[in-house]
């Protein structure tokens, strides 16, 4: 289990999130939602030290992740950020191979197992056909899938995704959301930030709702709907529709 215990998080020693407690269940899909600027990215970015842990502890199965060296942490937690300022002019397969770097020595020479994980990640994200194409020449949507493949090539049990459907068209978004239950079935723990509230309610085992640097709800999507949490936080009206295939959510 990934556990945030009494944590304060911020930048330049200025806390934006204070005294927060969160548990991310193992083998679950947990989604964080909230208005812009509420602290979603700040919260998850502390896992790769892009934001600062100012107080408290973050543990993975009882081990403090801040006591792990960088290589060990990267073998346990894979992180796909929302925005990348620099897009490398590397062939797709070379970029995806970067996901194996936490396991390699100074020579960074890939084993057959490493190469299989890279190929599997590219196939899973449907980017194999672009393997020899320079990443910086790809469309934003395909490029996002390439970075997702690199994240999966790390083969970590914890996968952190910050607005992963950014730049994806509707078909690619649907394909992405179909991947998450498959990863969960493989034993992966997925923590993601989304703006799509309806999709968050549909795909998540646990929902975390943030507002103004604090968590105002943690629980199942059903509990969230029953308590009208999203209506209050987003000042919107939630409508539901059910048929034989499931329940659908709409916001007005």
Cβ 78 vs Cβ 103: under 8 Å:
no
Whole-number Å distance between alpha carbons of 132 and 171: 24
- Give the tens place of pLDDT for each residue, 50-106: 999 999 999 999 999 999 998 999 999 999 998 777 788 999 999 999 999 999 977
Q: Where are the alpha helices (DSSP H) in the chain?
A: 40-45, 70-76, 92-97, 112-124, 140-153, 170-185, 197-203, 221-226, 229-234
What is the topology classification, in CATH, of domain 2-251? Answer: Rossmann fold (3.40.50)
pTM: 0.93
Whole-number Å distance between alpha carbons of 28 and 221: 13
How far the first Cα of the chain sits from its last, in Å, is 36
**pLDDT of res. 53:** 97
The tokens describing 5, both together, are: 């215990």
Whole-number Å distance between alpha carbons of 111 and 101: 11
Q: What is the mean pLDDT of residues 15-27?
A: 95
**pLDDT of res. 230:** 95
- Give the tens place of pLDDT for each residue, 144-177: 999 999 999 999 999 999 999 988 889 989 999 9
Q: Is the pLDDT of residue 136 over 80?
A: yes
Task: Give the containing element (helix H, strand E) for 189.
Answer: strand 189-193
82-91, 119-128, 178-187: which has the minimum mean pLDDT?
82-91
Q: What is the mean pLDDT of residues 115-130?
A: 97
Residue 9 CB contacts under 8 Å (≥ 6 apart), including other chains: 15, 16, 17, 20, 39, 42, 43, 46, 51, 52, 53, 54
Task: Give the containing element (helix H, strand E) for 57.
Answer: strand 52-60
Integer Rg of the chain from CA:
18
Cβ 70 vs Cβ 49: under 8 Å:
no
């Amino acid at each position: 289990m990934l556990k945030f215990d009494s944590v304060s998080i911020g930048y330049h020693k200025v806390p934006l999130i204070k005294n927060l407690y969160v548990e991310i269940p193992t083998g679950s899909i947990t989604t964080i939602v909230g208005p812009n600027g509420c602290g979603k990215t700040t919260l998850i970015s502390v896992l790769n030290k892009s934001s600062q842990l100012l107080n408290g502890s973050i543990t993975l199965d009882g081990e403090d992740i801040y006591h792990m060296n960088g290589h060990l942490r990267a073998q346990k937690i894979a992180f796909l950020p929302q925005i990348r300022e620099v897009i490398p002019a590397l062939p797709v397969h070379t970029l995806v191979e970067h996901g194996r770097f936490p396991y390699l020595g100074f020579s960074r020479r890939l084993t057959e197992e490493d190469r299989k994980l890279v190929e599997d990640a590219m196939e899973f994200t449907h980017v194999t056909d672009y393997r020899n194409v320079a990443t910086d020449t790809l469309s934003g949507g395909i490029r996002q899938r390439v970075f997702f493949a690199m994240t999966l090539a790390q083969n970590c049990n914890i996968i952190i995704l910050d607005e992963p459907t950014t730049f994806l068209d509707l078909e690619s978004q649907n394909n992405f959301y179909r991947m998450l239950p498959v990863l969960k079935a493989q034993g992966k723990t997925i923590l993601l930030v989304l703006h799509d509230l309806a999709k968050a309610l549909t795909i998540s085992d646990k929902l975390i709702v943030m507002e103004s640097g604090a968590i105002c709800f943690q629980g199942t999507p059903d509990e969230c709907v029953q308590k009208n949490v999203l209506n209050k936080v987003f000042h919107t009206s939630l409508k539901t529709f059910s048929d034989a295939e499931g329940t659908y959510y709409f916001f007005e």
